[in-house]
Structure 1
Amino acid sequence: MTTSFEALLPGTERALLHRVAVAQTEGRAPSLVGAVVRDGAMVWSGARSCVDGHAPDADTQFRIGSITKVFTAVLVLRLRDEGLLGLDDPLERHLKGTGAGEVTIAQLLGHSAGLAAETPGSWWERSSAELRPELSDVLGEEPFLRAPGRRHHYSNPGYTLLGSLVEAVRGVTWEEALRREILEPLGMDRTTVDPVAPHAGGWAVHPWADVMLPEPSEDLGIMAPAGQLWSTAADLGRFAAFLAAGDERVLGAASVAEMRAPAAAAGEGDWEGSYGLGLQLISKEGRTLIGHTGSLPGFVACLWVSVEDGLAGVALSNATSGVPIGAVAADLVRIVAEAEPRFPQPWRPLPEAEVDGELLALTGPWYWGTYAYGLRLGPERSVVLEPLRGAGRRARFRALPEGGWVGLNGYYEGETLRVVRREDGSVSHLDLGSFVFTREPYAPADAVPGGVDEAGWRGL
């Protein structure tokens, strides 16, 4: 019997609403909305508010700031997947005359291009776009703080360059590319560059008194690809489902997984987090979260996805500061993961067509020196090699058409595992990037590098 667990338990829903309520009260936020996505569907949303006489809902727009960067990164990866550019291409190959043309597209995506964090001149988030009509107004006369490629240093101008790159290669505006290539396919019709009612107004809350000021809502102009968008909890839930599994209409699962992989060395003090290709990556209480935070005057926002748990948390607020928005979104994921852990997929035997006697004969224990490993057969002729005792280098391997396997993760990612046979066709050993795995530990007849002492094993 199959049972649906789409709805959350009442106790879980109460805990989620309590977390949103505490965040709104302690953060002194005019309003705050939260939502949870499980296995691609929004299963909960809740809000608290003291402004306009009603609470927002999952369809109320908030400004999402730098979450916009993830959308820009997806547009760039689409260009790569279509063969229109390479991530290792210098920017100058596709976008001329920037003054930063030697940096690669991958460096811009991962914030390792060495560019300044902000633009020269007025605070761009709170000043007119008319002050920045050209890329030179965004980068300044000395755009570099350090040599490109050494480590992560967050850069808003870098994503302005990527937005201009999209326009140069596509021949349409960044906004048009965004709408046509991401928002429409994913059904995100409440994500826009300008606010569309119902939407929250942005507020600054006085740090020492319970009074507020409205914040201006600037059109960011050429800086739009770094932080322009307005969105809703429901739309960000749809985007979260895409970031977890991909969508062939936008970007395939392999390319989305590539975005989620660390792309730049963390800076000092950032060891609990990293950055992929347009995505922030953090480790929170043993859980890996991918997504992005965002802020602009009057707003803070966060989207976190736990791919392993099949969960995503969205938190949006219309206050310049006060709400620890990243922690709130992470807590929404944690609450559901702990209260209602994901059911594992049911075990099923391999299809009859995938059962191969020669492969089955390779399973079981193997020894790298005296380290004991087990080789296990997976679907589609894949294998897993894992230590049998203690910590070690566990890895998954995908079957290659020409024979053997290629590593998919960890120390052996990209390395080739192959079977080495004797002249009579029997299996001698496994070779993994020159590491020899034998059926017995240091057996004299095995192909152990350096040979085996002729006296064999001994005691004292």
Structure 2
Amino acid sequence: MTAPLSRYERVARKVQADGRVPALSVALHRADREPWAFTVGESGNAAHPLGPETRFRIGSVTKTFTAVLVMQARDEGLIDLDKPVSAYLDVPAHGDATLRRLLSHTAGYQREPYGDVWDTLITPDAAKLVAELDRAERVLPNARRFHYSNLGLAVLGQLVAKVRGGTWEQVLDEYVLTPLGLRATTVTTPRQAAIGYVVDAYSDAARPEPPIELAGVAPAAQLWSTASDMAKWAAFLASPERIDPDGRVLAAATLDEMRWPLTTTDETLWGAGFGLGLILVPEGRRVVHVGHDGAMPGFLAGVYGRRGGEGNPGALGCAVLGSSGGAGQINELVHELLRLAVELDPAEIRPWRIAPPAPTAYRSVLGRWWSEGSEFVFAWHDGRLEARLADAPADRPPAVFAPLPDRPDVLRTVSGRETGELLRLTRDDSGEVVRMHWATYRFRRFQDGFDGGPASAGPEPVPAG
């Protein structure tokens, strides 16, 4: 066993022991290594001892699947995220909430469907969920602040099922699970299922939790899976271009959109946020973990992929699944394993290689330019024009430009600083670029004032006295 794998196992064993988790299953997926999986404990299922194929409830990680289904439908033109729910579902109340607000938990829907579902363990079917929306509260105004809502994601799941003309379960299998080969991820309880427990706080006793089928609330928390399937799913959320290079499930640009922060979960700490259906956990130095936590009676799950940072091989995803509903260490372990993966086993450093020069039309753009008293560097790397502040940290991504069709002197900023804005090139009679305008701000080869005069040509000082 290599040193990194030994370390991964040790931290997993410690969480299982310290957290008193009956069964723990962990997995790492990365682009440059074979997948790694490890289990410790007992499944509680005598017919199917604990192993990599043991299934666990993943709870609210299910929401990430529903979010992807919503974004697929949006990309196909079936829905508009900024239209209200009532445009697609016949709801008796709260139909003004937009799909975008529901995905980011900022629509103000109460947390659960009407009724004490976690007391009775009875949830409404799909039709009743929608029909009883008028019995649920709008606990906050639309867009006021973050408020987590299982009800909101359940409504979205039923909405996307309706526009697809099937059930949520059918749509999920056809559009996500089968294309990505997530064969161990199911809606129904599999025979390899671990038993979920509530572990007594004051002894080593543990009580099996009752099974619950979520019916109409299934799009929020129903799924079962393995750690290996979930590590691959986390890798997809972080690096879709590696897991789904043809974009059969979702375009990489759409997942970029899902990962953009729309709200923080705490107004003072800013330690986590939500995009479109995804939890975002900043790790510092331009690294973010993207995914979701999950909980169901007797189960906890953490499923995250890592984006950015030194040593990241790409498609780096981790899943930690446990059969205890009260061991918070499970949700911390997923982040620790992602950190250890790049610290103990960083990606190989790729050698720099000579590449073709920039196209002739853009060679006079390269180099240093000034705007608003700040110096920028324009360069050509990886077949594209880039720009960054001259003193920007090395880990800050550059702005990237792409020319408009049939207009090589007008380029769109496709990522980084000023995304969406135009860069316009002005040439002299010889064809050299002598001036540029980016987001309408003037760029010249020398530092100038807003009146166009060079900064070096200030007035002579007035003699004293």
Match of 1:156 in 2: 150
After superposition, residues 339-350 of structure 1 pair within 5 angstroms as: 339-350=344-355
Shift of 1:386: 1.3
Match of 1:218 in 2: 212
Instruction: Give the one of 373, 377, 386 matched to 1:374.
Output: 377
Shift of 1:50: 4.3
Match of 2:307 in 1: 307
Checking the alignment, whether the CA contact within 8 Å between 2:92 and 2:132 is kept in structure 1 is no
2:307 matched to 1:317?
no
Using the alignment, how far apart are the partners of 2:108 and 2:72 within structure 1?
A: 24
TM-score when scaled to structure 2? 0.88
* Residue range with higher mean Cα deviation, 23-32 or 82-91: 82-91
The one-letter code matched in structure 1 to 2:248 is R
2:162 matched to 1:168?
yes
Shift of 1:411: 4.1
Change (3 A) 1:284 1:319: same
TM-score when scaled to structure 1? 0.89
Checking the alignment, whether the CA contact within 8 Å between 1:89 and 1:105 is kept in structure 2 is yes
Cα RMSD (Å): 2.6
The one-letter code matched in structure 2 to 1:373 is F
Checking the alignment, whether the CA contact within 8 Å between 1:119 and 1:140 is kept in structure 2 is no
Q: Deviation per CA, 1:422-453, whole angstroms, max 9, x where unpaired? A: 567543312111221210112xxxxx532327
Change (3 A) 1:152 1:409: farther
2:260 matched to 1:261?
yes
Shift of 1:263: 2.5
The one-letter code matched in structure 1 to 2:421 is E
Q: Deviation per CA, 1:397-417, whole angstroms, max 9, x where unpaired? A: 231223332223444121112
Checking the alignment, whether the CA contact within 8 Å between 2:290 and 2:304 is kept in structure 1 is yes
- Matched position secondary structure for 1:217: coil
Using the alignment, how far apart are the partners of 1:163 and 1:142 within structure 2?
A: 17
Using the alignment, how far apart are the partners of 2:435 and 2:37 within structure 1?
A: 55
Match of 1:386 in 2: 388
* Residue range with higher mean Cα deviation, 76-85 or 41-50: 41-50
Using the alignment, how far apart are the partners of 1:22 and 1:279 within structure 2?
A: 28
Instruction: Give the one of 319, 334, 339 matched to 2:339.
Output: 334
After superposition, residues 400-411 of structure 1 pair within 5 angstroms as: 400-401=403-404, 402-403=407-408, 404-411=410-417
Using the alignment, how far apart are the partners of 1:261 and 1:204 within structure 2?
A: 36
- Matched position secondary structure for 2:379: strand
After superposition, residues 170-319 of structure 1 pair within 5 angstroms as: 170-246=164-240, 247=244, 248-284=247-283, 286=285, 287-308=287-308, 309=312, 310=314, 311-319=316-324
Using the alignment, how far apart are the partners of 1:244 and 1:455 within structure 2?
A: 48
- Please, which runs of 5 or more residues in structure 1 have no aligned partner? 1-8, 443-447
Shift of 1:307: 2.7
* Residue range with higher mean Cα deviation, 306-315 or 170-179: 306-315
Change (3 A) 1:284 1:56: farther
- Please, which runs of 5 or more residues in structure 2 have no aligned partner? none
Checking the alignment, whether the CA contact within 8 Å between 1:160 and 1:225 is kept in structure 2 is yes
Checking the alignment, whether the CA contact within 8 Å between 2:273 and 2:279 is kept in structure 1 is yes
Using the alignment, how far apart are the partners of 2:456 and 2:446 within structure 1?
A: 16
Aligned-pair identity (%)? 32
The one-letter code matched in structure 2 to 1:251 is L
Query: What is the number of equivalent residue pairs in this alignment?
Result: 444
Change (3 A) 1:130 1:395: closer
Match of 1:418 in 2: 424
Using the alignment, how far apart are the partners of 2:119 and 2:415 within structure 1?
A: 40
